[in-house]
Structure 1
């Protein structure tokens, strides 16, 4: 069973059903039933046109469910001619489906969660990790969102900001999680950028390209996480960096700064340094100031504290960190790093161990554990 192919086809198949008149919740249910049928049938009889097969089966499932509801709802269900197996219109509905999921009847948080689950193909657990909330909480949120839209006809697209947030979270999950959706997020953002001149769409595309360019250097041959300062920059994709910088410069020239442009500018400054010690931390702090002004995000303030520590010394970084909530994700890891830079190895070792216990991923847990072990070995020696 080709699971990556199924993951790629699901959004397009849901999009076809929605375009034919199915409401979103019914379309997703029908596609899930079609997937179950594919798991049963495909190993022995693989279709020549997988998408066409899924559309045909899913549409039949939808019609069966709609007919069953006819007597209860006492209304006529429009029945369209079913497509011939193996034939399917060559239309990519995935991007449009992202817009439809950002429906005004949903809160932005629910729209993002529903899209990540139904269109992005993430499990409820993965969506919960993206939101940093318990899985049970996210399951309830997604269920409520599906109930909300069960009677909604998706003929009014949502706003660009919500769609961008969806794409950003999909990219981050693909970049650091156990499902690789980064390339798909870039593909969709390219499509969106080609259809609109919105500067934040360009900013997000630039940010994705610049981060994705560093991907080959993020892990070592043994699978270990490699921090930015220690990465082999010869492995960075210079073609993606150049494209990201060009896209960013064009966006900034419109003089309508947004958070994704600010983040992309920070990533571009990192990419511009041939060596870690050549990083222009003063400019990075300035861009973080802009990002904090735009978003007032605690995460932005946390990252700004790291940049301040590099630009003005670790004690300045610790001072910038002082007002932030210690429960903030990765707060202990940043605090440990700054204390190590300041020479307080005992405190740093304790904080690295503490950070490891709350690490959001296995690679980070292993990295932080090694950091604590390294300092403890130095203290014993």
Structure 2
């Protein structure tokens, strides 16, 4: 799973435009296999966007100012005034990401600010706002006018209608007409990810997985508010699927202005497809330590989250590989999915572990050897690591851990 970086935002350059980058068509036109027309929902006069662009931008800016103050002051009540309360799944998304950030090592730091630079009118009375955040952070968020105030919002699942099915060379897609402006570019990025992963890892697949493109958060079944995308293995390879939240939605989070949303999304698609190749061409991810399969996916997608890791190294807040406290919910990289906070940082540290093995301990062949040996080695905790690491590298866990920490100091 690819986690949105600290709940979609860390002030001053930690998270996952240039106004809105122009979506280009794929090199080969996607094939439409079957199309179900989306439900037509006319825009009522009560929800039509006003024609005065400047007043709309001013209203959105006022909401963004309150949203920034809510983050800077850790004020949940103020945050709630910026969100469309009638859309319950969307409200949950915004509030859970706010709470996740405030509970992280970066919570309470202040420095949040947003500036709306451009707007586009969308169907159903929605306005897509292009927003500049701290540093190079850029956002594409939807707003709707409610009782004279422009609030963060998105359409409901009923409003965006039925799915449509598309195909490219290596994938089948389930998406929506609401995302017609970006579907072709997403498909092109998915094919690019296929090339990157199969070239980097040296293996491919002989079936077409399904990619679900979600332009809103509230599509059934409910999703984790912290996820930007995830891979789900099926009971057979052709039942595998990848789920991604589309750009121009709050769920997508922010992107770096230098990369554009497509550059940011390309990394995410590469991450998730790495999980699929890991599962189907190498070994099941369920037999690997959490940091191994998540770190590999971050490594192949070239997503080091370097600013977060550097901050953790500088402040001596490195999440350990193993929590030796005896807790029933260990807070470590070995159990990444049990972490109560700083999950995005854990992804960056997992990347660094894979990079350490690849660059300092013999390459990705040694990574796969360690993953396989760990799976076959009896025992738990440090004892298990000692046995596996002695077999593969001729070193103890303490030596491996010390070498990794020195690698962090030298490279971050």
Higher RCO structure (Cα 8 Å, ≥6 apart)? 2
Whether TM-score is above 0.5 comes out as no
Give the structure-2-normalised TM-score. Answer: 0.26
Larger radius of gyration: 1
* Structure with more strand by fraction: 2
* Structure with more helix by fraction: 1
